[in-house]
Chain A
């Protein structure tokens, strides 16, 4: 029997990774990246003559957690047609038994790379609002992303923002989520939070769930990190959005995580703090509410997350109306000068 050197082992591993696309309409172009579940390749769809991204599992088989997760991800994506969510084209099994799906090939940069070229806070906030739109849409369709982080957001060459990697998505029970639920009848299903007499959205009932911790530290809500699957609702994604916003503004997902951190405006800091409250009840009840606070900030209005002092109010008033204030001041100064001139 032949002795295999360490370099031969590496070459065998590399050669064995490529999927067998025989019998499909796809032709392999190049390997793009490795994710938690498998590998993403750029492939050419020979029928439609377009480039697609092909995500394929490493291991063949139709059972097992990873297969179920990949198929579920494809089905969730198919049910979420939104300009901010990457569209899925096809799902199936390759000749080598591996499950795959194809999706739009996104040419762009990851948010963490893209953000380095954006210096304006307002521009960063506008990108963040686009992310919120996609996540709010998913929530309206009854889907939680559960892994929102810079690496899962792509920004295209025309500034289009796409939320990627829905492999950890969970499906909530709501009126609009029937299509998604039909796509995945075995999914963990939650009731939406019921409004209690005090107005706190904390009553949640869970049907299934096994408590496995999945997500990314720093962006994962405390309840998700504890594996409290029954407590997860839209506010868990809101926590991740808060960490994402903080990262976009300061370069760090967690507050006070680095010395020499970028100074953050009190209102924006309060929005991040509210979104990332340890208690879900203290967070924004919905992504729309959070997005509205950001929009108010961009319009120079008071944000709901921060109680302003009189001085702060005055400062904001000045910043918002400084042009008119300057005009009035100039007008008054002119009047004073004219009066002084006339009475000389």
Chain B
């Protein structure tokens, strides 16, 4: 049996999806813009929350710095300097945020930003609300490990939230809105009290239909999340590492 026998089929996970890192270095301005939009969509919330939490900046200043950071990422072509063999993109971006804020403090001349950032709606009010709902242990604030952990967790939250939105879109497109509602009720909002039996009664369908719908939604969610993740990684190796971190496959 040859290695070729293990090639996945057409509906399987794409192996050669172009990463945002490659696309951001493209000479095609449109492709570059799209890549930065994808990057910004996945990272703006973790960056904003990190600035609020790690740098303890007030809401308005943090908003300004978040926009400023992504504008600088574009202007100074910081992604060109990223080497996936040396670090993870997420760690690189966090370090870039740190140095950006230090430089801004030194310059003491922070200006309102927004002119050159990618076209991504930044819902700061929602991010602020989420930050309020996040359990943070103040005793760990000074620990560098915890900073990394915090940024990673927010990055996973952001990645999964985007994947959930994509799944919602897919369900609407395939007229499977009930499937999404079941997924939402059980996997997103469910508690220990939520059961397949209860959902079966609520929706007037068999338990088997509930479990089949959830299995489909989970498979699609997984596929979408991995798809998005692969797009955000610079190499296959980084993708494998990040997938293990995002899904907790290392820790179990």
Contact = CB atoms under 8 A, between A and B. Distances in A.
Interface stretch (B10-18, B64-72, B97-105, B143-151): B10-18
Given A1-B165, A17-B247, A97 B187 contact: no
Given A8-B188, A59-B243, A2 B221 contact: no
Describe B's contact surface by its main secondary structure: helix
Contacts of B142: none
A59 B240 contact: yes
A193 to B, nearest CB: 31
Describe A's contact surface by its main secondary structure: mixed
A340 B173 CA distance: 111
A184 B129 CA distance: 54
B3 interface: yes
Contacts of B24: none
B163 to A, nearest CB: 8
B15 A9 contact: no
A338 interface: no
Interface string A60-100: 11111011100100010000000000000001110111010
B248 interface: yes
Contacts of B189: 8
B247 A16 contact: yes
B236 A63 contact: yes
Contacts of A17: 247, 249
Contacts, number: 115
Interface residues of B, number: 50
B77 interface: no
Contacts of A3: 126, 129-130, 133, 157, 161
A231 B156 CA distance: 42
A31 to B, nearest CB: 10
Given A15-B214, A16-B218, A64-B236, A2 B188 contact: yes
B188 A60 contact: no
Interface residues of A, number: 39
Interface in A179-204: 183
A6 interface: yes
A8 B190 CA distance: 8
Contact of A62 (B15, B123, B153, B188): B15
Contact of B222 (A7, A16, A61, A71): A16
B7 interface: yes
Interface of B: 1, 3, 5-9, 11-13, 15, 123, 126, 129-130, 133, 135, 153, 156-157, 160-162, 164-165, 186-191, 214-215, 218-219, 221-223, 225-226, 236-237, 239-240, 243-244, 247-249, 252
Q: State the 3 A-B residue pairs at the shortest beta-carbon distance, nearest first.
A: A97-B13, A16-B222, A15-B218
Given A34-B249, A183-B1, 4 more contacts: A12-B160, A16-B222, A17-B247, A91-B1
